[in-house]
Chains A and B, each alone.
Chain A
Amino acid sequence: MFADSSSVSRRNFLYGLSVGLGAAALNMLLQADESSPPVAAVGPLAAQPQHHVARAKACIFLFMEGGPSHLDTFDPKPKLADLHMQEFTRQDKFASAMSSGKRYYVKSPFEFHQAGESGLWMCDRFEHLAKVADELCVYKGLQVDSVDHPTACYQMNTGNRFGGDPAFGAWTTYGLGTENQNLPAFVVLPEGAYPQGGAANWSNGFLPAHFQGTPLRSGGSPILDLAPAYGATRTAQRANLDLLAELNQADQARNPHHAEVAARMEAYELAFRMQAEVPGILDLAQESQQTLDLYGVGQEGTDSFGRRCLLARKLVERGVRFVQLFEGGWDSHDYIERAHTQRIRAIDQPMAALLADLKRLGLLESTLVVWGGEFGRSPDNGVRGGANVAGRDHNARAMALWLAGGGVQGGRVVGATDELGATAVETVHHVRDLHATLLHLLGLSDNKLTYFHEGRFKQLSQVGGKLIKELLA
């Protein structure tokens, strides 16, 4: 319509985009087979080769906010039963603001059983997880720097206690790109409420914004403003987009040397397609009743986490690199028996289903599943109101987490804590080493996965980490 751009046909306009995201979108738009996820050839989110050959191509991180107790889940300490409610005084002034003064040892309210052929110890509240115990590699040697939730969450999720740095998921997608340009590369599935410290837990930090975690919402619009406001129709949107494209083409003809505008024009077409496709991808109604039951969807107590575990599986299936679930409520200073019982019940069946389902689909080998919180809990407590309300305080020096899939050999325990579970004593590593190891499992080298910022090449581990070789075995 405008004199200087009338020769630019729609097809030419697409082909003309040889830079940046343009070609990616072209590739995608020209795909005949809609069922296969569109892969970008170029652009910041193009799928990238791994630094080294590794089985894991995707990661699902089940983040338990609040600090689940290792002593009441995977790290039984019979000694605590002997010391139960015995008083002692702690001296360590940096261990915790809560740990000074008069303290009482607290035994676990739970029985422990050995599960699977490997005989992995876990508390008796894990009824479903016990059935997939042989997939789990439990790690008990990790230590962190902080006993305060938000700083410990930031450290576990970004390496930096004070926030502002890219999240683990952001680094992963920076390193690996994504295999589906129609979905965010790094997806976050919070529970009802955002965790302490908020969105900085899935920030892109100083990495470009493409690598930011996108929270998918359980209600409302799964991606913010995915659907146009006030129910504008697709026809109306297409008409508006066509006018926009024409204005932009004319503008581009007047400013031919402004490369950035091409990528922006492209983003509008991609968005238009995403808003048609994404809701279908995320729709759990398409799943069989059998699958929904497996995950505990629709059942009291397990519905919320079950939905998110199932969604995580669907996303990974569709080529999403990194899915992080946040599940809070683990901060059991009091009433640990009933609180942890309920927390375990909420996650037990869904996460066991996730592992079994991934395995059934042949995805477990290529999907690294990580379970853990920001720190562990103390073997003792400044008991308020007697033994029946007993809980545990924060502990940065001992915790338990587990890995499954992604080439990790299951049915194993790596590392150990002392006889009270107060501090890790075997295969002890700082969180930076865990980060380097998890990246390694995803085919990335922490030392190569760097980004120049503020005068130095920064990395997830902050100052470089050592591989925890025992986890790789």
Chain B
Amino acid sequence: MRNVVRILTLALLVAGDDRAAAGEGRGAFAPVRAILVEKCLVCHGNDADDLQGNYDLRTRAAALRGGESGQPAIMPGKPDESPLLRAVAWQDDALQMPPKENDRLSAEQIDTLRRWIVAGAQWEAPAATAAGPARSADGWASEPGGVRIATSGGLSNDWDARLYDSDAVWAYRPIRRPEVPTHATHPIDAFLLEKLRARGIDGFAPPANSTTLARRAAFDLTGLPPAGGVSEEEAFSETIQRLLESPHYGERQAQHWLDVVRYADTAGFSNDFERPHAWRYRDYVIRSFQADKPFDQFIREQLAGDELDSQDPELLIATGYLRMGPWEHTGMTVAAVTRQQYLDDVTHQVGVSLLGQGLRCASCHDHKFDPLPTKDYYRMQAIFAPVQFAQRSAEFLPSENVRHFAEARAQVQARLDRVLAAQEALKQKNKEAIAAFLAERGVKSLDEIPAGERPKADYLGGTFGLTKTDLSLRKIQQKSRMYLERELQRFEPAALAVYSGPPNGYTSLKPLYAVPAKPKGTVQVVNILTGGALESPSEAVSPGVLSAMAGSNEALAPSAWNTIPSDSSGRRLALAQWIASSHNTLTARVIVNRVWQQHFGRGLVATPNNFGKMGARPTHPELLDWLATWLIDRGWSLQRLHTLIMTSAAYQQSSQRPDMDKLQAIDARNDLLAWFPPRRLSAEEIRDAMLLASGELNRAAGGPGVYPEMNWEVALQPRHIMGSVAPAYLPSRTPAERNRRTIYAFRIRTLPDPLLEVFNRPGSEASCERRDETTVTPQVFALFNSEQAANRALAMAARLQREHASEEPRLAAAFQLVYGREISPAEQARCLAHLTKMTAHHRAHPPTPTELPTSVRRGMVEELTGEMVYWDEDLSPLKDYQRDLLPWQVQPEVRALADVCLVLLNSNEFLYVR
């Protein structure tokens, strides 16, 4: 019955009010209503109990009456005397509305209000009339003022009645199949040239030279420079194919996806505990791209792998997607709060990552700009209400790297054993103190001492006889133990996964290692939370999809595609089918756009996580749609999409052209792609390319995270974790283990590697849609001064020294390794001179050897005493640590060559792809 009422209401709303609708005319209310809904009602009407300034804009009488000032806000016919108009025009300093600078009304909107007040400020409630406007194929009603969209229903009639600019809701309309223009044989070029020529630009820049193009293609597809230089014989299409087949293709593509889903190996917040099996999800993503898994299948597996087949390890691993966000629940947090935090996070994240539509805005109010009612937000959330966390048993797959488990486990165990021994020592100290105490009292047993005077026992023995420092150490040891025991879990065959069912009491301190055989309780019911507040639940909702999307409103036209079952199991699978569908107007556009961005630096939609009104409009909407349908028609193969893009003249053009000054005046942002947009290497590409140049890169794939060397001060920097301090970051023991590709580095949320962070590796709290490329001075310290950079340069020099007999071929090889091109005679002369000069310098200035610490002095404020406590953390694993090649181990000539290498690795020609 409730649904019937809703449908009727919707029908009435869709039918609209034709007096208002007809009103393009002077003083009409419809455009005024649109302004009020967009700009005013959030504070002046949506929440009747919390009207800002006690001013209510829901009815004409209240709107005229004004708020707490006691003055009328609107004087019909007298705009200049109406405080409302003065406020929105920011005429007086005292009252400026809306208060946020960026929300200010446009001149046009102010004029609309002015004309409305001049005409008497008439008000019309949204009401039904017999003859509604025509409904288009997507179920939307087109009216002179815009389109009206029937959704599952907003929190207010005003929101339901609002009209949208057709152009602002483009992404919710069906994907079209545009005709390809005839300017070129390659469809991409044809679409781009159409726009270029319309702006008076003849065509693309000249083709890039083969060196530039080879470097561009290799970094784009594999994140590494071209292997072995450029082959003149190989056609570029063959180059693309070779790169797609390279095992490094999957790693590079996965990096983009892991940015979007916020991959990390730890959980964040207080304890920042390890997620021992997160690495299996990382490798799943790499495998999926490497195998060119159809993207729609990739979506289904991540959203609902467990519902597809709960026995398939690969599918359980895939659901790690649903657990990528930072999340923690401990004794200090409130279960209902952390649960809601998860539900909010996963709801928003699915929207952002797969649909290019952030949803969080709608958790408190109907979306201010997009056709996204709060109800839809909670309907989407209800899909995830049965999601429960578990480390589910999942056998290792033949494709997973478990080769060095025994050795790696032994290292962790050794570290754990030392902690256990330290704990035992304190227990022993306590025991001895008690024995001495008994001796002093002249008794044999504690039983002979009155209860009140006995030393107390606890879960770690007892505290009697221990010093203040010992007491702190007890906590620190216990925490280290928890960390290391968790670390051992990574070698166990389990997946960071989920299942559907009633709440299971999962906490970060006590994770669950099996799905309960007999689940107790009922699946959580999701209510609309008024203002997003857990304390204010209102209407309960059933699971549903985004109702504004063309064809997705199940109240108007129910179908298997747009309907989510209410059973506890199967909700996510139904969502996955809705998302991974050619009917979904967002999914294909969103992924096509992400791939485009990988090659051109910016998407056709410049905001890949936001296809809504406040996102960017597509620069080439026809091309975007054409590519989306092209992808769907080809079974969602991303490799084919890469090939299509890279075979275009647009991709192969130079980043420089002679008439650039003229073009800058026409299209400074290069929206039209009249030249190829250069980009700086990402943080991971910088590190990986340095390792490749130095010959140190270990190309092994997959497996638990490794620990590259990072700045030692940061590695040993103490970090507060709940009530304690985290153990030191210890780099992996051998260079081979450390020098894996960066994607395999263990990622700690609260301890970013400074070298990577400074080159704009994003934090792992929020989804990253696009890497920043800022230039800041600390980058110089990291790349020109750090030991890590110096070590790469030195290893590279040693390699050149080893592989070539004299200085000239060494320099030639250095340029080839770093730039992928030949050295020029002038460059060679200059570098030879530098070598001579620096060799002399290094002869006169031998380096001073350094030692690694075997322990580190730690200090923290002990919360039980308020005093600083100091102790030495044992770093004995560093005793058999194999350091990189170091300056005092080589001749001055090699150190001089390392100077040249360091300079090359800091140069712009290395750092930019053009």
- Which A residues fall within an 8 A CB radius of B? 1-3, 20-21, 65-66, 93-94, 96-98, 147-151, 162-164, 191-200, 203, 205-206, 208-210, 214, 217, 220-221, 223-233, 235-236, 239-240, 243-244, 246-248, 250-252, 254-258, 260-261, 263-265, 267-268, 270-271, 274-275, 301, 304, 327-335, 338-346, 394, 445, 447-448, 450, 452, 454-457, 459, 464
Say which residue of B713, B750, B903 sits within 8 Å of A247 (CB atoms): B903
Tell me the nearest residue of chain A to B334, going by C-beta.
A97
Say which residue of A1, A2, A96, A229 sits within 8 Å of B785 (CB atoms): A229
Q: Are B775 and A251 in contact (CB under 8 A)?
A: no
Q: B748-786 interface mask toward A, CB cutoff 8 Å, 1 = contact, 0 = none?
A: 011110100110100101100100111111111110111
Q: Are B824 and A2 in contact (CB under 8 A)?
A: yes
Say which residue of A3, A193, A228, A258 sits within 8 Å of B719 (CB atoms): A193
Q: Please give, as numbers and ranges, the residues of chain A lying within 8 Å of B858 by CB-CB distance.
A: 192
Q: Does B337 contact A (CB under 8 A)?
A: yes
Q: Please give, as numbers and ranges, the residues of chain A lying within 8 Å of B720 by CB-CB distance.
A: 65, 193-196, 328
Interface locus among B144-152, B302-310, B734-742, B863-871: B863-871
Interface locus among B95-103, B183-191, B373-381, B629-637: B95-103
Say which residue of B100, B752, B866 sits within 8 Å of A338 (CB atoms): B866
Q: Are A225 and B785 in contact (CB under 8 A)?
A: yes
Q: Are B865 and A270 in contact (CB under 8 A)?
A: no
Say which residue of B333, B336, B867 sits within 8 Å of A148 (CB atoms): B333
Q: Please give, as numbers and ranges, the residues of chain B lying within 8 Å of A96 by CB-CB distance.
A: 334
Q: Are A94 and B534 in contact (CB under 8 A)?
A: yes
24 contacts between A and B (CB under 8 A): A94-B336, A94-B534, A162-B765, A192-B859, A192-B868, A193-B720, A194-B718, A196-B720, A198-B751, A203-B763, A209-B760, A209-B776, A225-B786, A228-B790, A243-B834, A258-B656, A260-B773, A260-B775, A261-B912, A329-B861, A394-B332, A447-B100, A454-B352, A454-B609
Say which residue of B101, B766, B837 sits within 8 Å of A450 (CB atoms): B101
Q: Please give, as numbers and ranges, the residues of chain A lying within 8 Å of B332 by CB-CB distance.
A: 97-98, 147-149, 394
Q: Please give, as numbers and ranges, the residues of chain A lying within 8 Å of B334 by CB-CB distance.
A: 93-94, 96-97, 147
Q: Does B708 contact A (CB under 8 A)?
A: no
Say which residue of A236, A338, A447 sits within 8 Å of B101 (CB atoms): A447
Q: Please give, as numbers and ranges, the residues of chain B lying within 8 Å of A457 by CB-CB distance.
A: 100-103
Expressed in whole angstroms, the minimum distance between the Cβ of B300 and any Cβ of chain A is 26
Q: Are A257 and B656 in contact (CB under 8 A)?
A: yes
Expressed in whole angstroms, the minimum distance between the Cβ of A166 and any Cβ of chain B is 11
Q: Please give, as numbers and ranges, the residues of chain A lying within 8 Å of B903 by CB-CB distance.
A: 240, 243-244, 247
Interface locus among B215-223, B265-273, B620-628: B265-273
Q: Are B326 and A163 in contact (CB under 8 A)?
A: yes
Q: Does B680 contact A (CB under 8 A)?
A: yes
Expressed in whole angstroms, the minimum distance between the Cβ of B817 and any Cβ of chain A is 15
Q: Does B838 contact A (CB under 8 A)?
A: yes
Q: Does B57 contact A (CB under 8 A)?
A: no
Query: How many Å lie between the Cα of A268 and that of B781 in the bound state?
Result: 9
Q: Are B906 and A244 in contact (CB under 8 A)?
A: yes
Q: Are B834 and A244 in contact (CB under 8 A)?
A: no
Q: Please give, as numbers and ranges, the residues of chain A lying within 8 Å of B914 by CB-CB distance.
A: 255, 258
Query: How many Å lie between the Cα of A225 and that of B102 in the bound state?
Result: 40
Q: Are A223 and B268 in contact (CB under 8 A)?
A: no
New A-B contacts (13) at CB < 8 Å, excluding given A252-B908, A328-B720: A163-B326, A191-B861, A199-B750, A209-B760, A209-B776, A217-B713, A231-B847, A240-B902, A244-B907, A247-B904, A247-B907, A257-B656, A258-B655
Q: Which of A164, A341, A342, A344 has the most CB of B within 10 A?
A: A164
Q: Which of A227, A228, A344 has the most CB of B within 10 A?
A: A228
| Contact A464/B100 with A255-B655, A274-B777, A454-B609 known, Cβ cut-off 8 Å | yes
Q: Does B143 contact A (CB under 8 A)?
A: no
Q: Are B358 and A454 in contact (CB under 8 A)?
A: yes
Say which residue of B721, B781, B847, B899 sits within 8 Å of A223 (CB atoms): B781
Say which residue of B607, B678, B776 sits within 8 Å of A455 (CB atoms): B607
Tell me the nearest residue of chain B to A393, going by C-beta.
B332
Q: How many A-B residue pairs have CB under 8 A?
A: 313
Query: How many Å lie between the Cα of A271 and that of B785 in the bound state?
Result: 10
Q: Does B361 contact A (CB under 8 A)?
A: yes
Q: Are A200 and B361 in contact (CB under 8 A)?
A: no
Tell me the nearest residue of chain A to B103, going by C-beta.
A457
Expressed in whole angstroms, the minimum distance between the Cβ of B52 and any Cβ of chain A is 9
Q: Are B830 and A258 in contact (CB under 8 A)?
A: no
Say which residue of B751, B845, B907 sits within 8 Å of A236 (CB atoms): B845
Query: How many Å lie between the Cα of A225 and that of B713 in the bound state?
Result: 10
Query: How many Å lie between the Cα of A342 and that of B772 in the bound state?
Result: 44
Interface locus among B127-135, B520-528, B610-618: B610-618
Q: Are B866 and A339 in contact (CB under 8 A)?
A: yes
| Contact A230/B908 with A246-B830, A271-B777, A340-B866 known, Cβ cut-off 8 Å | no
Expressed in whole angstroms, the minimum distance between the Cβ of A255 and any Cβ of chain B is 6
Q: Does B119 contact A (CB under 8 A)?
A: no
Q: Does B722 contact A (CB under 8 A)?
A: yes
Tell me the nearest residue of chain B to A100, going by C-beta.
B334
Expressed in whole angstroms, the minimum distance between the Cβ of B375 and any Cβ of chain A is 20
Expressed in whole angstroms, the minimum distance between the Cβ of A456 and any Cβ of chain B is 6
Q: Does B725 contact A (CB under 8 A)?
A: yes
Q: Does B47 contact A (CB under 8 A)?
A: no
Q: Are B789 and A229 in contact (CB under 8 A)?
A: yes
Q: Please give, as numbers and ranges, the residues of chain A lying within 8 Å of B863 by CB-CB distance.
A: 66, 328-333, 339
Q: Are B908 and A251 in contact (CB under 8 A)?
A: yes
Q: Please give, as numbers and ranges, the residues of chain A lying within 8 Å of B826 by CB-CB distance.
A: 1-3
Tell me the nearest residue of chain A to B850, going by C-beta.
A230
Interface set, chain B 864-914, CB cutoff 8 A to A:
864-868, 886-887, 899-900, 902-904, 906-909, 911-912, 914
Q: Please give, as numbers and ranges, the residues of chain B lying within 8 Å of A268 by CB-CB distance.
A: 780, 784, 906
Q: Are A164 and B765 in contact (CB under 8 A)?
A: yes
Q: Are B907 and A334 in contact (CB under 8 A)?
A: no
Q: Are B270 and A148 in contact (CB under 8 A)?
A: yes
| Contact A455/B713 with A195-B720, A236-B899 known, Cβ cut-off 8 Å | no
Query: How many Å lie between the Cα of A397 and that of B258 in the bound state?
Result: 38
Q: Are B841 and A97 in contact (CB under 8 A)?
A: no
Expressed in whole angstroms, the minimum distance between the Cβ of A149 and any Cβ of chain B is 6
Q: Please give, as numbers and ranges, the residues of chain B lying within 8 Å of A263 by CB-CB distance.
A: 775
Q: Does B535 contact A (CB under 8 A)?
A: yes
Expressed in whole angstroms, the minimum distance between the Cβ of A466 and any Cβ of chain B is 9
Q: Are A224 and B269 in contact (CB under 8 A)?
A: no
Expressed in whole angstroms, the minimum distance between the Cβ of A276 and any Cβ of chain B is 13
Q: Are A229 and B786 in contact (CB under 8 A)?
A: yes
Q: Are B866 and A456 in contact (CB under 8 A)?
A: no
Q: Does B397 contact A (CB under 8 A)?
A: no
Q: Are A194 and B864 in contact (CB under 8 A)?
A: no
Q: Are B908 and A209 in contact (CB under 8 A)?
A: no
Q: Are B867 and A342 in contact (CB under 8 A)?
A: yes
Expressed in whole angstroms, the minimum distance between the Cβ of B662 and any Cβ of chain A is 12
Tell me the nearest residue of chain B to A457, going by C-beta.
B102
Query: How many Å lie between the Cα of A2 and that of B823 in the bound state?
Result: 12
Query: How many Å lie between the Cα of A340 and that of B103 in the bound state?
Result: 46
Q: Please give, as numbers and ranges, the residues of chain A lying within 8 Å of B660 by CB-CB distance.
A: 256-257
Q: B70-101 interface mask toward A, CB cutoff 8 Å, 1 = contact, 0 = none?
A: 00000000000000000000000000000111
Tell me the nearest residue of chain B to A51, going by C-beta.
B101
Q: Are A151 and B331 in contact (CB under 8 A)?
A: no
Q: Are A97 and B719 in contact (CB under 8 A)?
A: no
Query: How many Å lie between the Cα of A327 and that of B859 in the bound state?
Result: 12
Expressed in whole angstroms, the minimum distance between the Cβ of A227 and any Cβ of chain B is 7
Q: Does B827 contact A (CB under 8 A)?
A: yes
Say which residue of B750, B779, B845, B865 sits within 8 Å of A198 (CB atoms): B750
Say which residue of A93, A235, A247, A459 sits within 8 Å of B336 (CB atoms): A93
Expressed in whole angstroms, the minimum distance between the Cβ of A332 and any Cβ of chain B is 6
Query: How many Å lie between the Cα of A34 and that of B656 in the bound state?
Result: 40
Q: Please give, as numbers and ranges, the residues of chain B lying within 8 Å of A193 by CB-CB distance.
A: 717-720, 725, 859-860
Expressed in whole angstroms, the minimum distance between the Cβ of A17 and any Cβ of chain B is 12
Q: Please give, as numbers and ranges, the residues of chain B lying within 8 Å of A97 by CB-CB distance.
A: 331-335
Q: Please give, as numbers and ranges, the residues of chain A lying within 8 Å of B568 by CB-CB distance.
A: none
Query: How many Å lie between the Cα of A225 and that of B785 in the bound state?
Result: 6
Q: Which 7 interchain pairs have the tightest Cβ spacing? A: A329-B861, A342-B866, A198-B750, A164-B765, A455-B614, A339-B866, A271-B780
